[in-house]
Amino acid sequence: MKFFALVSLALLATFTGANGASCYSRCGNPFSRWFSCQCNTNCVKYGDCCSDYNLHCVLGSCQGRCDTSFDSSHPCQCNSACITYGDCCTDYNTQCAGESPVPSDPIDGDVPTNMDEFANAVWNADVNRLSDSDFSLNFGNYISNSNDERDLSFQPLFSSVNTAFLQRDTYKTMSALFDNYVTSQGQTEVTTAAEQAEQDAFMDAMFETDVMDIAYQYAKYLGYYSSLSEYKDFVRGLLFTPYTRKATSDTSGFEHVFAGEWSSSSSISGFHSWVRMYQLEQEGVMNYYGYMNIQEPRQVLYQFEWEGRVKPLTSIMYGVSPEFEIAIFSTCFLTNRNAVCPMTINGGSASVQTWDQSGMDVFGSAYFIA
């Protein structure tokens, strides 16, 4: 039954992507129930625009339009004359010019040019990743049916962790954020000045790392951002811009993905941080039930109970730094928004799923698919 459900979800995601999840070549088309999202001015009113509506229909993209003649129906152009007239689309260089302004990478002189190169570059630069000797896990017993929701493993997932790593800047500043949120959905979050300062400290700590520098350089290479400050604001928005699930501004990307939320008296939403898992196990409020899948590099699909609430399926990549997770998640959000983002890391296979929320540039969710 579990296998059938997972396959059905995968097929649904594939069908949705193929059946109109993009505005490519659809700008101005009338409403169609055959498409999962729309690409005309009414979609703004009804809230059913595709996630790339702004790119293709407002800002304009050169995808599929390189070297075409001037077309007044488009907000920008995609031929060599656009350089003279200053009306090129923002992605003209990456889509049409055959070359992009590639900045110098302070790490090794090479900026990644595809997702596999990027994923391995940030993996290799992740000096805050725990080595294999810095932690040990007890995966316990295999869960064959996630619907059973019962404890089949009688030890915590994390047997030991070198806690000296958790005193490093990005871990310490991330951990300081966990108590800033109302765990239950449906209650408006209010960010105090002190909590804003903690967000700033986390952002500053991350952007001092080589991992986030590579992430910026890759986003710049792809043509998404041309200044570090703009890119940093984008990442901040993904994490900390409040949005609505059950009440006005009752959640954010960080709260959902990293802190986790109680979606009801019996269920959990989000929760994809190994650091959060370890800390709650140490507090005695987290009960690891067992695993459904284990794969390299360092990925596990598992089930757990948190103060009487059960998450039937969740996944983490364990032992990696917060900046590594956010670099991967934010890049996949840019390149494969609302879709699966495959990559190879350190010789193994990994895929990330990201979701926005109502078309906003926020993490509706982001996680490794183990």
Residue 135 lies in a domain: yes
> What pTM did the predictor assign?
0.72
Domain membership flag for residue 205: yes
Last residue of a domain, one of 65, 97, 129: 97
Tell me: do 47 and 152 sit in the same domain. no
Count of Cβ atoms closer than 10 Å to residue 206 Cβ:
25
What end-to-end distance do the CA atoms of the chain give, in Å? 18
* Positive/negative CA dihedral, 275, 278, 283, 286: positive
350 pLDDT above the threshold of 90: yes
Is residue 8, in this structure, part of any structural domain at all?
no
Same structural domain for residues 231 and 331? yes
* Mean pLDDT, rounded, for 294-317: 97
> Do 78 and 123 reside in the same domain of the chain?
no
Chain-centroid distance of CA 298 in Å reads 17
Is residue 5 in a domain? no
pLDDT (mean) for 111-119: 94
Distances (CA, A) of 32 to 3, 47, 181: 32, 14, 40
The 8-class DSSP code of residue 132 comes to G
pLDDT digits (tens, 9 = 90+) for 7-51: 333 333 333 333 345 776 677 788 876 667 888 888 888 888 887
Residues 80 and 127 in one domain: no
Residues 289 and 143 in one domain: yes
Q: Are residues 121 and 210 in the same domain?
A: yes
One domain for residues 202 and 55: no
Ordered DSSP codes for 340-358: EEEEEETTEEEEEEEEEET
Q: Distance between CA 326 and CA 238 in Å, rounded?
A: 10
Domain end, chosen from 33, 67, 97, is at 97
| Spatial contact of 348 and 369, defined as CB atoms under 8 Å apart | no
Q: How confident is the model at residue 90 (pLDDT cuts 50, 70, 90)?
A: low
- Bridge-based pairing of strands 360-368 and 158-161 is unpaired
Share above pLDDT 90 across residues of the chain, in percent, rounded to a whole number: 69
- Domain membership flag for residue 356: yes
More confident residue, 105 or 250: 250
Rounded percentage of the chain residues whose pLDDT exceeds 70: 87
Decide the pairing of beta strands 261-262 and 158-161.
unpaired
219-266 pLDDT, tens digit per residue, is 999 999 999 999 999 999 999 999 999 999 999 999 999 999 999 999
Higher-confidence residue: 271 or 89? 271
**135 and 87 within one domain:** no
Catalytic residue annotation: 256, 272, 311
Domain for residue 103, yes or no? no
Note whether 252 and 141 are same-domain residues: yes
Do residues 332 and 285 share a domain? Answer: yes
Range of the domain at 81: 19-97
Q: CA-CA distance, 146 to 188, in Å (whole number)?
A: 32
Would 68 be classed as within a structural domain? yes
pLDDT the model gives residue 221: 94
How far is residue 24's CA from residue 33's CA, in Å, rounded to a whole number? Answer: 17
How many structural domains are present in the chain? Answer: 2
